């Protein structure tokens, strides 16, 4: 079975579910599709996720005070012990990370839904 990239998946998702600017549903779907893509493309990330060495968390606040900002998705090592077995369609455990190795702020869907692209997110460096 070939991999379908997140940009293609989100277009299908939006066609099926529609878009509402105040709903977080499309953002959550985009996060899952991004995770799917990074796990597909990187054997290192895939193996770390399988072993429970990295976790993901949606809607995460980074920083403190004036340097505080919200990210749509973070990936990093787990804070404390986590159950490694992943349920459902997720291929990475969803839990709070001890530190943030990758922070994503999705920016590819505007209120007019004019563009969705593979380059629709900004990220910090992934450290593995």
Q: What's the rounded mean pLDDT across residues 4-12?
A: 84
Residue 128 lies in a domain: no
**Structure confidence at residue 124 (pLDDT):** 46
**What's the average model confidence in pLDDT over 98-104?**
91
The answer to whether residue 74 is domain-embedded is: yes
pLDDT, tens only, 63-79: 888 888 888 899 999 99
Please tell me the total count of domains within the chain: 1
Is-contact 78 93, C-beta < 8 A?
yes
pLDDT at 87: 52
**Where in the sequence is the domain holding 47, given as residue range(s)?**
6-123
Q: H helices within the chain, ranges in order?
A: 6-17, 25-41, 43-51
Nearest-10 Cα torsion for 81, 71, 108, 92: 0
Does position 57 have pLDDT exceeding 70, yes or no? Answer: yes
- Residue 1 in domain: no
* pLDDT-above-90 percentage for the chain: 26
- Given a cut of 50, whether residue 128 has pLDDT beyond it is no
Task: Return d(Cα 4, Cα 43) in angstroms, integer.
Answer: 17
| 72, 49 contact by CB (below 8 A) | no
Per-residue pLDDT at 119:
40
Q: What is the CA radius of gyration of the chain?
A: 15
Residue 5: partners with Cβ closer than 8 Å, 6 or more residues away: 33, 37, 118
């Amino acid at each position: 079975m070939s991999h379908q990239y997140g940009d293609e998946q989100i277009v299908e998702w939006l066609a099926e579910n529609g878009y509402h600017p105040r709903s977080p549903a499309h953002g959550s779907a985009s996060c899952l599709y991004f995770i799917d893509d990074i796990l597909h493309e990187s054997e290192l990330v895939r193996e770390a996720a399988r072993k429970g060495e990295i976790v993901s968390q949606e809607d995460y606040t980074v920083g403190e005070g004036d340097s505080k900002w919200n990210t749509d998705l973070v990936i990093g090592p787990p804070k404390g012990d986590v159950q490694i077995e992943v349920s459902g369609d997720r291929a990475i455990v969803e839990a709070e990370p001890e530190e943030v190795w990758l922070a994503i702020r999705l920016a590819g869907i505007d209120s007019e839904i004019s563009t969705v692209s593979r380059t629709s997110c900004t990220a910090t460096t992934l450290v593995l």
